[in-house]
Structure 1
Amino acid sequence: MLSYSRMFCGLVLLTLPLMGCPPTERDYGTGGGGGAGGQGGGNVTCSPGVIEPCYTGPADKLDTGACKAGSMVCNPEGNGFSACTGEVLPSPETCDTPVDDDCDGQVNEDGEGCSCTPGTTAACYGGALGTENVGNCHGGTTTCNEQANGYGPCVGQVIPTDEVCNAPGALAQDEDCDGEVNEGACKYIAIAAGEYHSLALRADGTVWAWGRNNYAQLGDGTNQSKGTPIRVDIDGVVAIAAGHNHSLAIKDDGAVWVWGRNDYGQLGTGNYQDQTKPKAINLAGVKSIAGGTNHSLAVWMLGGAYAWGQNYSGQLGTGDYQESLTPKSVTSLADLLAVEAGESFSLALRKDGTVWGFGNNNYGQIGGNASNMETPVQVQGLNQGAAIATGEQFSLALRADGTVWSWGDNNYGQLGRFGQSQIPAAVENLTGVVAIGAGTQHALAVQVQGTVWGWGNNGYGQTGSQGGSSYDAHEIAGIDQVAAVTGGRDHSLALRKDGTVWAWGGNNSGQLGIGNGPSTNKPVQVPLP
């Protein structure tokens, strides 16, 4: 870089190499005019065409920020220099560009439109009001940009996210920063019971299973029974169901996944091979599923039904008795809300509140005294249906008025009254019901206040009382605030409104989820993570 010295040469301020000043007319004592903007003089003061550096601004600004020297050229007469061109002098600071316009060593520090000083930082937080420094959430820092007209992104902040179900204790985290840990994602939203195994669906889309696993119905890749819950190798699930020894799930894309026993094609995979882990089948757009002893059912988004598996009694409703290894449309059903599967029969609930049955009718479980039906028939004497449930050989329906109606086999009092019934009739002394469930030979109901009632076979305490079978519905002590119930062969499950799962009844295969403990007629909380 050239070194300059600032000299007062005549009346013009020049900054030139350290070589003295060009002569002026005062030096030479002559008149004569110089070139425009140059330095006058009648005598030779420079060599024509010579270029010299120049700078007319304050000396302390030169080579600082935008300021720089220009150049001047000796005129043809050799008696003066042209005006200084190309120099950049200090100007008012602006925020249009990241330049030090006023040459003071700072960029955009106080110019017009500047909102901050470039490079300075400030605290920032983009989460909802009241969540900063709560749970995982904390603020970050933001840096003023080079244009000084705003700050960059907030770096290092943690804002609320969906709650994730962590391990309990010290490892649990409050991801949504509401002051509670695991309060949302760890809640369970659905339950299902097979013959001797149990399933629970967590709000985060994971499925947990426990109990008998001789046919891989727990979906963990083994055939070893589990006395406490284990996670099934599947996620993104929105609905679950259980057959006797197989399990089903609907994922958030409407696809159906299956695992467990498949000796009659009840998995719908196109073969008879058991599945130790969940596997997708060729069925999508599904909103509801059900598992029977050896067959499965599904409701399509548009209200149609599909069925697959064993069909020796016409339980698939397809108009024949041939089992199906893949889902087959039940063409005579439409506008469905739900389906349920018993041992060898099926029920379907339509949007108009009518209930339809097909398959085995040895006990009148599909209504009336007809023989087996390979196509759906309407259950007579029943309307305003709001929900349905099936046991091994009996049926339940919840009407819109909160009463429960039952029909079919009643050897253990599972109809909630004495005597067989092929025509639906109300369960006695039970009103205000909002949910129903059925085990193999026992029944369950939830009243609007969250109490649970049970009746039927109680050989293992599955109806929550002491003694044998009960033909009268009775309230089950030790549990309240219940939202849903279901049953297996000799155990019962309940989902409370707080998202916890409770169980009672037989535990010979660990189906209560409390380890290999004894059976109990008192509800106990399943130790789900």
Structure 2
Amino acid sequence: MHHMADTRKYVDSGNLSRRVVSIAAGESHTLALTGDGSVYSWGRGTFGRLGTGSELDRLFPAKIEFNSTKPVKIVGVAAGAYHSLALSDDGSVWSWGHNTYGQLGFNGENSMVPSLVEVFNGLSPPHGSITNSETGLKISSIKAGGMMSLAIDDLGSLWIWGNCPPQDPPNEGEEFSLVATYTPTPVWNFHGQTVVKVACGSEHIVALVSVGETHKGGDLVCYSWGSNNHGQLGLGDTNIRTTPQIIETFNTKSNWAAYELACGAFHTSILAYKKGDGEINKSVCWCFGLGDNGQLGLGTTKKALVPDIVRSLPVNLWLISVDCGLFHTSVVSSVGDVWSWGMENGLGLCNEASFNESEGGDALIPRLISYNDEYGSKFPYPIQVACGAAHTILLADNGYRLWSWGRGRSGVLGNGQVNDFFDPNLVLWPPLQEVFVKYDEQQQYPIPQIHEYKNEYKKNDDKMDNYKKSDENMDAEKSLVDITEIEKKLLVMERYTSMLHSSVFGTPFKEENDLPMFLNDAGSFDVGKEWEKMLESYDDSTLVRLETFYRNMLAAVKDKIMKKKIKKMVKECLESSTNMSD
């Protein structure tokens, strides 16, 4: 398969904490996994889905703590609608968030912090093999969607729990209904086969499974089961399936080899390449299921009962990642092109979003998501795309930068704001408390910051037991501390400026492009006069954005004033009633 070469050279392992290796998106929250095994979350906090110990929303990445007697290194993350999963390097699974249907792996209340899925400890694999681990079953990958959780163990067996499809077909006259499953349960149908990848929507599951006992590359068959009311199983009809069925497009005789899966609420997307093509360097996206909002990318709003190729995508490209939101789909190519299609111009924004007349409507075919940067419209060194209910997150730049767009409510975009973004905007990464490493484009390595020199100075100092600091050394260290503090304050100011600029204009702040010429050269100036000049220099679209921002801000201020007045009145009433009772 096609892989992008990493041309960057980094000098220390400390960068692992800043490099995101995997992302996952729930209904209105996002998870990011870093190279050092840490997990960050942001967005809506209800039900404890962020794992921060609180139901408060987080507008930018917050680190999750795992309460364990030994260090926990996470190697995988997954997000359902309102819950989250994490896989540690010892093969154990952690869960947090919503648990009404047992999607956390136990029968109990919602959890606001990560808790170990204890049931896997001491369990044997369903195939009857003896595990060599004293702690029991080892899980090798996890996935979640809707109210469901999925896991594959290191022997290739599939486990499911949460709001799952029933194992027995409904009796005549009965409607299809999901079953709350509080304990991870093995799927017995794949005995003698290896489950390689799996995905699930609101009510259906798809899986890539080996033909034989082991996976030998290109020998995968695609199965689906669960609800099929919109054809999301790709089996040619709308009948439910309680046991896995092979999707004929990707059976053993097929010319197509599937390698990636994704499920929306009621649709499915599969990435595949043609077998026997020699060097594998081009692939296609197949979609099927509900098409009401164009989420199939087939140019129509009709449902598709069997997989169909999204033919509007360019040919001769390699697609590295696909994901589905509730009613939209996104794919990324190896060279950094990103396409989205489906609800509200492919943004998945749902009908309450406000658009200009030219922007409205669903995207029935792929829409190229452009990013105007020094790289042009392509995103550098892409890794993965993740779709929430109405937002999209892209991991690129070898894991050092994330972009987001779509609905911004509850801070799900991770840019410190709660308004919608119709174009990609940088996530605040690393978090504000992290120190950035500057990147020298010519030298291809990070430029050490002042704090690194300071730390090196301290290490050398500690080695010299009999060393007595001279006045000169003391002054040098004090200067380093002062510069470090200034650097931190400057970083916060830069971020504050960027957030303010994004709030008003919808794009990140870039000093050389965004400041009018007369401000660049100004030493000091009259704010009133310069404001007039700025308004004069802006075009109509910028002025409209300014007006929208002003109205929103004014409404928020009026709302806050009203709330404070009501609070004051209530307080006065309470005080007067207390005085009367005295």
Larger Rg: 1
Q: In the alignment, which of 391, 406, 416 is matched to residue 491 of structure 1? A: 391
Distance 1:178 1:320 in 2: 52
**In structure 2, what is the equivalent of residue 387 of structure 1?**
260
Are 1:472 and 2:365 counterparts? yes
Quick one: distance in 2 between partners of 1:485 and 1:339?
17
Q: Look up the match of 1:44.
A: none
Q: Which runs of 5+ in 1 are unaligned?
A: 1-176
- The 8 Å contact of residues 459 and 490 in structure 1, kept in 2 or not, is answered as no
The 1:224/1:356 distance shift into structure 2, 3 A limit, reads same
Counterpart amino acid of 2:310? V
Deviation of 1:294 (Å): 1.1
Aligned ranges 1:105-124 → 2 under 5 Å: none
Q: Which residue of 2 aligns with 1:275?
A: 111
Shift of residue 185, structure 1, vs aligned partner: 3.1
CA contact (8 A) 1:314 1:358 kept: no
Name the counterpart of 2:223.
356
Residue from 241, 249, 264 that aligns with 2:101: 264
Please say if 1:428 is aligned against 2:306: no
C-alpha contact (below 8 Å) 2:85/2:142 kept by paired residues: yes
Aligned counterparts of 1:337 and 1:322: Cα–Cα separation in 2: 25
Offset from partner CA, 1:373-427 (integer Å, 9 cap, x none)? 1111111223411110000000010002410001000011011111321100101
Alignment partners' CA distance in 2, 1:510 and 1:321: 31
Please report how far the alpha carbon of residue 291 of structure 1 lies from its aligned counterpart in structure 2 after TM superposition.
1.0
After the TM superposition, list the runs of 4 or more consecutive aligned residues in structure 1 that deviate by more than 2 angstroms: 177-185, 311-316, 319-323, 458-468
2:161 paired residue number: 308
- Alignment RMSD, CA only? 2.4
Q: What is the identity, as a one-letter code, of the residue corresponding to 2:328?
A: H
Counterpart of 2:249 in 1: which secondary structure?
coil
Equivalent residues in 2 for 1:281-430, closer than 5 Å: 281=117, 282-283=119-120, 284-311=137-164, 322-333=179-190, 334-351=193-210, 352-368=219-235, 369-382=237-250, 383-401=256-274, 402-417=283-298, 418=300, 419-430=302-313
Distance, in Å, in 2 between the alignment partners of 1:236 and 1:261 is 23
Quickly say closer, same or farther: Cα 1:293–1:310, change in 2 above 3 A.
Answer: same
Q: Give the AA of the match of 1:420.
A: K
> What's 1:183 paired with?
15
- Partner residue of 1:206 out of 38, 57, 61: 38
Structure 2: distance between partners of 1:179 and 1:452 = 31
What is the TM-score normalised by the length of structure 1? Answer: 0.63
1:302-333 C-alpha deviation (Å, 9 max, x unpaired): 111000111355599xx996432110000112
Which of 416, 424, 428 is matched with 1:515 structurally? 416
SS at match of 2:383: strand
Indicate conservation of the 8 Å contact 1:315/1:346, yes or no: no
Q: CA deviation at 1:229?
A: 1.1
The answer as to whether partners of 2:208 and 2:222 remain within 8 angstroms in 1 is yes
Q: Which amino acid aligns with 2:394?
A: A
Whether the 8 Å contact between 1:394 and 1:406 is mirrored in structure 2 is yes
Structure with the bigger percentage of helix: 2
Matched residue, 1:59 = none
CA contact (8 A) 1:356 1:377 kept: yes
Calculate the TM-score normalised by the size of structure 2: 0.57
Question: Residues 102-157 of structure 1: CA distance to partner in whole angstroms, max 9, x if unpaired?
Answer: xxxxxxxxxxxxxxxxxxxxxxxxxxxxxxxxxxxxxxxxxxxxxxxxxxxxxxxx
> Unaligned regions of 5+ residues in structure 2, if any?
1-8, 67-71, 121-136, 170-175, 211-218, 251-255, 275-282, 350-354, 372-377, 431-582
Counterpart CA distance in 2 for 1:259 and 1:241 is 11
- Identical counterparts, % of pairs: 31
For residues 342 and 461 of structure 1, the distance between their equivalents in structure 2, rounded to whole angstroms, comes to 18
Contact residue 361 and residue 371 of structure 1 kept, 8 A: yes
Task: Report how many aligned residue pairs link the two structures.
Answer: 350
Inter-partner Cα distance in structure 1 for 2:343 and 2:12: 41
* Aligned residue in 1 for 2:343: 457
Q: Taking structure 1 as reference, are residues 180 and 238 closer, same or farther at Cα in structure 2, changes over 3 Å only?
A: closer
SS at match of 2:207: strand
Aligned equivalents of 1:210 and 1:365: distance in 2? Answer: 30
**Is 1:217 equivalent to 2:49 in the alignment?**
yes
Per the TM alignment, residue 506 of structure 1 is displaced from its structure 2 partner at its CA by 0.3
Q: Provide the residue aligned with 2:470 in structure 1.
A: none
Q: Distance in 2 between matches of 1:290 and 1:493?
A: 17
CA contact (8 A) 1:391 1:441 kept: yes
Query: Does the alignment pair 1:504 with 2:405?
Result: yes
Q: For the residues of structure 1 that align with 2:416 and 2:168, how far apart are their CA atoms?
A: 36
C-alpha distance after superposition, 1:244-300 (max 9, x if no partner): 00000100011111000000001112x131111101112241122111211111111
Question: Displacement, 1:354?
Answer: 1.6
Assess, with a 3 A threshold, how the Cα gap between structure 1 residues 195 and 459 changes in structure 2: closer, same or farther.
Answer: farther
Task: Report what 1:143 is aligned to.
Answer: none
SS at the partner of 1:428? coil
- SS state at 2:384 partner: strand
